[in-house]
Amino acid sequence: MAHTGAQSVGVKICGLTEAVGFDACVEHGADWVGFVFFQRSPRFVTPEQARQLSARTIGGPARVGLFVRPDAAVIADVLKHVRLDVLQLYTSVDEAEWFSKHFDLPVWLSLPVSRRAELPATRVADRVLIEPKPPADATRPGGNGQQMDWSMMADWQPAFPWMLAGGLTPDNVAAAIARTGAPAVDVSSGVEEAPGIKSPAAIARFIRNAQAAITV
Ligand SMILES: O=C(O)c1ccccc1N[C@@H]1O[C@H](COP(=O)(O)O)[C@@H](O)[C@H]1O
């Protein structure tokens, strides 16, 4: 079934490391920007780098901090430097709830999914990120440019917030939204010139194509 949406699709650009990419997100109206606090990512930023990027604009996209196997002391240190609006966590449902209460912040939980039965039936976090399971030899759980089988979401219409991630690009994002009905999308490697280096032109095209998808 093809989905058509009447609501604006939310767009998150993840893995900002440089001013030029951050500024493109602000200019073209991204809803969220993501800072990756995972050292084994080419998109890793220190808390100070995130602070400097974030300070380039007042307001603008909401700031999402991404943590893999999160540690409360690490998150607390980041929050001393930069205001985050959302924690995006690669952890369990129980831990996600704990972190949300502990830091009094909304938590988005990344859920790796490879078949329809793994899609959540009930709300387990403020938002779930539906992502592909990473390859066995991957050094990180996301940001691998790996696309999932969108057909498994064809008739999945949960009554809670979710976001589609994994292998999205300016060229496929409109089809991804139409096929899955995703209310929000998340991209990292699909808008890069090289790992960790964002392309302002690709960011502009991604946001434009995602937002245009609602009128399909
Ligand atoms: O971006 C990363 O390097 C990363 C590292 C560790 C965990 C998650 C990461 N990225 C997340 O994965 C999605 C999808 O990435 P891609 O578009 O397929 O490259 C990304 O949007 C981040 O939320």
- What does the domain layout of the chain look like in residue ranges? 10-215
> In whole numbers, what is the pLDDT of the chain averaged over residues?
94
Surface-to-core class of residue 92, CB atoms within 10 Å of its CB (0-12 exposed, 13-18 middle, 19+ buried): exposed
- List C-alpha distances in Å: 59 to 26, 52, 55, 108, 216: 9, 14, 9, 20, 30
Neighbouring C-beta atoms of residue 7, cutoff 10 Å: 8
Q: What's the pLDDT at 2?
A: 43
Prediction pTM value: 0.95
33, 129, 209 from 171: Cα distances, Å: 20, 21, 8
Residue 43 Cβ contacting ligand 1 at under 6 Å = yes
**Is the per-residue pLDDT at 47 higher than 50?**
yes
- 136-147 pLDDT tens trace: 899 999 999 999
Q: Which of 55, 95, 94 is nearest to 75 (CA)?
A: 95
Of 13, 144, 172, which is best to mutate to test ligand 1, by the most ligand atoms within 8 angstroms of its C-beta?
Answer: 144
Instruction: Kindly give the number of the ligand 1 atom that is closest to the alpha carbon of 166.
Output: 18
**Three-class DSSP category at 107:** strand
pLDDT at 215 over 50: no
pLDDT at 136: 87
State the pLDDT at residue 73: 98
Q: Work out whether the CA dihedral 15, 54, 10, 74 comes out positive or negative.
A: positive
Residue 106's pLDDT is: 98
pLDDT of residue 67 exceeding 60, the answer is yes
According to DSSP, residue 206 is labeled H
Reported ipTM exceeds the 0.95 cut: yes
Residue nearest to atom 15 of ligand 1 (CA): 143
68 in contact with ligand 1, CB cutoff 6 A: yes
Closest-CA residue, ligand 1 atom 7, reads 142
Beta pairing class for 197-198 and 62-68: unpaired
Residue identified by tokens 């951050």 is 22
Q: State pLDDT tens for residues 149-201.
A: 999 998 898 999 999 999 999 999 999 999 999 999 999 999 999 999 999 99
Query: DSSP 3-state assignment of 72?
Result: helix
pLDDT at position 154 is: 86
Confidence band of 5 (pLDDT split at 50, 70, 90): very low
Query: Phi and psi at residue 119, in whole multiples of 5°?
Result: -70, 135
Q: 79-135: per-residue pLDDT in tens? A: 999 999 999 999 999 999 999 999 999 999 999 999 999 999 999 999 999 999 998
- pLDDT given at position 216: 39
Q: At what angle do helices 93-103 and 72-81 cross, to 10 degrees?
A: 40
Q: Tell me what pLDDT residue 214 has.
A: 64
Specify the ligand 1 atom closest to the Cα of 147. 18
With a 6 A CB cut-off, is 170 part of the ligand 1 pocket?
no
How is domain 10-215 classified at the CATH fold level?
TIM Barrel (3.20.20)
Ligand 1 atom showing the smallest separation from residue 146 Cα = 18
Q: Measuring from atom 8 of ligand 1, which residue has the nearest CA?
A: 142
